[in-house]
Structure 1
Amino acid sequence: MAAVSHYIHLAKGLLSMNQVAPIIRHDATYQDVIDAPANMVAELVRGALHLHPRPTSRHGFAGSVLGMKLGSTFQLGGEGLGGWWIIDEPELHLDENVLVPDIAGWRRERMPEFPDTAAFDLAPDWVCEVLSRSTRQFDLVEKRTLYGEAGVSHLWFVDPVARTLEAFANQDGSWTLIAALKDDDKVSVAPFDAIEFELSALWPD
């Protein structure tokens, strides 16, 4: 525990210098997630504590706009649709792993009642990760694998620097690319292909 606390302190110092937070590879527990500094996102993957800085403004803009686009229709029932819970940065407890996706969605047929809880132990039906310099490899490798193992049906990656969206469908635990969009392409992608919007809405300029 002392070693983990030491590296949390080190990571906090590195972040203050605008450097990428280190990955802390120690035997960690959920208590280490709880004890992480408030200015970092803490995730637990196969016993390793991962610390990342809070999102940049472009990262936050892309995630917020996407959440509004999908939430207004598929959560609040706009355009005659609905049937989803769309949540920003939920804490997921998937077996021994603790993950915090940028956005996640559950079909209400699988989660009829919205739980009054600090964390979700039911895997989402859809996850979106907004890529950033500090989390890109972690999102594309470790977290993608865990989402597949947990049975997440659809996974999107949004890159606000490259201005791209890649969408994948889970087929027997393996991810299959179903859409690759960029710049101002039209977005109409499963599981939200009942609507269409311009990808450029996710970029602030």
Structure 2
Amino acid sequence: MGSCLALAWMLLVGPWIPLGAQNPISWEVQRFDGWYNNLMEHRWGSKGSRLQRLVPASYADGVYQPLGGPHLPNPRDLSNTAMRGPAGRASLRNRTVLGVFFGYHVLSDLVSVEKPGCPAEFLNIHIPPGDPVFDPDQRGDVVLPFQRSRWDPETGHPLWGDEELFQHARKRVIATYQSPPSLDNPHSERALPRQLPSKKAPENEEEEKRYLCRRFF
């Protein structure tokens, strides 16, 4: 029991003598922006701070594309399975709907964002054909729009294997994107794919513009 309490304390507050940690404060204040939730690292978990990853991100391609079938079930199928059955039955474990609301509150705290990504990216949820609510006519082409959240502009191109590479890329990419060279403006500057120190450079000009729009605007 003692080891469990010590581990929980370290996860909440941090190690006893962390290297480079801020000095602990001698007062407490109730704030709603996440500041001072961790007394050793005051900004951890605050509004607008970068999400701290304890494990590498899990993507279908290793760097960017989200996982889907067959690795993960369809969200609508999962919802239908979880909610299937007669209503009004008591929980065998004495659970109430309060647990669902609390879980949704925790989920919203993790995934809710103020602004979507730019440019807009959609990870639409495909509805199984014949869904009684969304596809009663069995068209098979119904999707629920789901827009990807805003990404941290201080991180790098999504095709880079490590987002932190952006910190090193800034030292190598000395270019600004204005417009492609043309007869009217032959001296316009342009960052080329070969200047980006990525494991997988943009495949075409449109992908290049997409990245540069994010980076410089």
Normalising to structure 2: TM-score of the pair? 0.23
Normalising to structure 1: TM-score of the pair? 0.24
Q: Which has the larger radius of gyration?
A: 2
